[in-house]
Protein backbone atom coordinates (compact mmCIF):
# COMPACT_ATOMS: atom_id res chain seq x y z
CA UNK A 1 0.00 0.00 0.00
CA UNK A 2 2.74 2.40 1.01
CA UNK A 3 4.74 1.41 -2.11
CA UNK A 4 1.74 2.04 -4.40
CA UNK A 5 1.18 5.49 -2.92
CA UNK A 6 4.85 6.30 -3.29
CA UNK A 7 4.75 5.24 -7.00
CA UNK A 8 1.63 7.33 -7.68
CA UNK A 9 3.20 10.38 -6.07
CA UNK A 10 6.40 9.88 -8.05
CA UNK A 11 4.43 9.61 -11.31
CA UNK A 12 2.72 12.93 -10.61
CA UNK A 13 6.01 14.77 -10.91
CA UNK A 14 7.52 12.85 -13.84
CA UNK A 15 7.66 14.29 -17.36
CA UNK A 16 4.97 12.68 -19.58
CA UNK A 17 6.34 9.75 -21.58
CA UNK A 18 4.02 10.48 -24.50
CA UNK A 19 4.15 13.31 -27.02
CA UNK A 20 1.31 15.84 -27.16
CA UNK A 21 0.47 15.16 -30.77
CA UNK A 22 -1.18 16.40 -32.94
CA UNK A 23 -2.65 18.88 -30.43
CA UNK A 24 -2.09 19.70 -26.78
CA UNK A 25 -5.57 18.41 -25.94
CA UNK A 26 -7.46 15.76 -27.92
CA UNK A 27 -9.61 17.63 -30.49
CA UNK A 28 -13.35 16.84 -30.62
CA UNK A 29 -12.95 16.00 -34.31
CA UNK A 30 -9.60 14.97 -35.75
CA UNK A 31 -10.76 15.67 -39.31
CA UNK A 32 -12.07 19.10 -38.29
CA UNK A 33 -8.80 19.76 -36.52
CA UNK A 34 -6.75 18.80 -39.60
CA UNK A 35 -8.98 21.00 -41.79
CA UNK A 36 -8.29 23.92 -39.46
CA UNK A 37 -4.55 23.18 -39.65
CA UNK A 38 -4.74 23.19 -43.46
CA UNK A 39 -6.51 26.58 -43.35
CA UNK A 40 -3.85 27.93 -41.00
CA UNK A 41 -6.36 28.49 -38.18
CA UNK A 42 -4.72 26.00 -35.82
CA UNK A 43 -1.18 24.79 -35.41
CA UNK A 44 -0.19 21.16 -35.09
CA UNK A 45 2.11 20.20 -32.24
CA UNK A 46 5.20 18.87 -34.04
CA UNK A 47 5.65 15.11 -33.94
CA UNK A 48 8.62 13.53 -32.24
CA UNK A 49 12.01 13.93 -33.86
CA UNK A 50 13.10 10.74 -35.51
CA UNK A 51 16.43 9.03 -34.81
CA UNK A 52 19.27 8.98 -37.38
CA UNK A 53 18.75 6.34 -40.05
CA UNK A 54 14.96 6.41 -39.62
CA UNK A 55 13.14 4.75 -42.54
CA UNK A 56 10.05 6.78 -43.37
CA UNK A 57 8.17 7.45 -46.60
CA UNK A 58 10.25 6.70 -49.66
CA UNK A 59 11.35 9.48 -52.03
CA UNK A 60 12.30 9.21 -55.70
CA UNK A 61 14.20 11.61 -57.91
CA UNK A 62 12.40 10.73 -61.14
CA UNK A 63 14.62 12.77 -63.43
CA UNK A 64 17.67 10.69 -62.52
CA UNK A 65 15.96 7.26 -62.54
CA UNK A 66 17.42 5.17 -65.37
CA UNK A 67 14.53 2.70 -65.44
CA UNK A 68 16.84 -0.26 -64.71
CA UNK A 69 14.10 -1.96 -62.62
CA UNK A 70 16.50 -3.36 -60.02
CA UNK A 71 14.37 -1.82 -57.28
CA UNK A 72 11.36 -3.78 -58.57
CA UNK A 73 13.39 -7.00 -58.48
CA UNK A 74 14.32 -6.63 -54.80
CA UNK A 75 11.10 -5.16 -53.42
CA UNK A 76 9.55 -7.89 -51.23
CA UNK A 77 6.06 -6.38 -51.25
CA UNK A 78 5.50 -5.48 -54.90
CA UNK A 79 5.30 -1.82 -53.96
CA UNK A 80 7.17 -0.56 -57.04
CA UNK A 81 5.68 -0.54 -60.52
CA UNK A 82 7.27 0.23 -63.86
CA UNK A 83 5.82 2.94 -66.12
CA UNK A 84 6.69 1.54 -69.61
CA UNK A 85 5.88 4.69 -71.57
CA UNK A 86 8.22 6.79 -69.40
CA UNK A 87 10.75 4.08 -68.48
CA UNK A 88 10.48 5.23 -64.84
CA UNK A 89 8.99 3.72 -61.69
CA UNK A 90 6.30 4.70 -59.21
CA UNK A 91 6.01 3.50 -55.62
CA UNK A 92 2.87 2.63 -53.69
CA UNK A 93 3.59 3.60 -50.09
CA UNK A 94 0.60 1.61 -48.82
CA UNK A 95 2.38 -1.59 -49.88
CA UNK A 96 5.86 -0.56 -48.69
CA UNK A 97 7.29 -2.29 -45.61
CA UNK A 98 10.12 0.29 -45.29
CA UNK A 99 12.91 -2.28 -45.70
CA UNK A 100 15.06 0.11 -47.82
CA UNK A 101 16.31 -2.69 -50.06
CA UNK A 102 15.42 -0.64 -53.13
CA UNK A 103 17.42 2.29 -51.75
CA UNK A 104 20.44 0.05 -51.24
CA UNK A 105 20.39 -1.46 -54.72
CA UNK A 106 19.51 1.59 -56.85
CA UNK A 107 22.65 2.21 -58.96
CA UNK A 108 22.26 6.02 -59.42
CA UNK A 109 21.05 6.42 -55.79
CA UNK A 110 17.82 8.15 -56.71
CA UNK A 111 15.77 6.55 -53.93
CA UNK A 112 15.85 7.59 -50.30
CA UNK A 113 13.94 6.96 -47.07
CA UNK A 114 12.70 10.27 -45.66
CA UNK A 115 11.77 11.20 -42.09
CA UNK A 116 8.06 11.44 -42.97
CA UNK A 117 5.94 8.95 -41.03
CA UNK A 118 2.46 10.44 -40.78
CA UNK A 119 1.05 8.36 -43.60
CA UNK A 120 -2.45 7.42 -42.45
CA UNK A 121 -5.12 7.95 -45.09
CA UNK A 122 -8.58 6.71 -45.99
CA UNK A 123 -7.40 6.21 -49.57
CA UNK A 124 -4.35 4.03 -50.18
CA UNK A 125 -4.09 5.43 -53.70
CA UNK A 126 -4.20 9.07 -52.57
CA UNK A 127 -1.65 11.29 -54.34
CA UNK A 128 0.52 11.56 -51.22
CA UNK A 129 0.75 7.75 -51.01
CA UNK A 130 1.89 7.16 -54.58
CA UNK A 131 5.44 8.39 -55.07
CA UNK A 132 6.06 9.49 -58.64
CA UNK A 133 8.59 12.29 -58.28
CA UNK A 134 9.99 13.85 -55.12
CA UNK A 135 12.50 16.06 -56.97
CA UNK A 136 16.11 16.39 -55.86
CA UNK A 137 16.78 14.25 -52.79
CA UNK A 138 18.09 15.94 -49.65
CA UNK A 139 21.81 15.35 -49.26
CA UNK A 140 22.20 14.26 -52.89
CA UNK A 141 25.47 15.21 -54.49
CA UNK A 142 25.12 18.02 -57.00
CA UNK A 143 26.18 17.26 -60.55
CA UNK A 144 29.38 19.12 -61.51
CA UNK A 145 28.75 22.30 -63.44
CA UNK A 146 29.53 21.43 -67.08
CA UNK A 147 30.63 25.03 -67.79
CA UNK A 148 32.99 25.21 -64.84
CA UNK A 149 36.68 25.25 -65.78
CA UNK A 150 39.17 24.02 -63.20
CA UNK A 151 41.57 26.77 -62.15
CA UNK A 152 45.21 25.78 -62.82
CA UNK A 153 47.51 25.60 -59.80
CA UNK A 154 49.62 28.76 -59.42
CA UNK A 155 53.26 28.39 -60.45
CA UNK A 156 55.86 29.52 -57.92
Q: Under the rule (CB under 6 A), what is the footprint of ligand SF4?
A: 58, 65-71, 74-77, 79-80, 89, 91, 96-102, 106, 108, 110-111
Please state the closest distance from residue 127 (CB atom) to ligand SF4, in A.
17
Q: How far is CA 32 from CA 6, 25, 45, 127, in A?
A: 41, 14, 15, 21
Q: Taking the complex as a whole, how short is the minimal distance between the CB of residue 57 and ligand SF4, in angstroms?
A: 10
Cα 112 to Cα 98: distance, rounded to the nearest angstrom: 11
Please tell me the distance from the alpha carbon of residue 76 to that of residue 12, in angstroms, as a whole number: 46
**Distance of closest approach, residue 53 Cβ to ligand SF4, in angstroms:** 14
Phi, psi of 82 (to 5 degrees): -90, 140
Smaller CB separation from ligand SF4, 33 or 117: 117
- Cβ 82 to ligand SF4, closest distance in Å? 8
CB 81 within 8 A of CB 89: yes
* For ligand SF4, the closer CB: 79 or 129: 79
Nearer to ligand SF4, 22 or 93 (CB): 93
Amino acid sequence: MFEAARTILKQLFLKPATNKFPAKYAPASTIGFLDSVAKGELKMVPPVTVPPGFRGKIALNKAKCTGCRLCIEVCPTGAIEFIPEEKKVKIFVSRCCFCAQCVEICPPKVLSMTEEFLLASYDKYADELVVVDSGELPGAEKEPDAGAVEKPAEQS
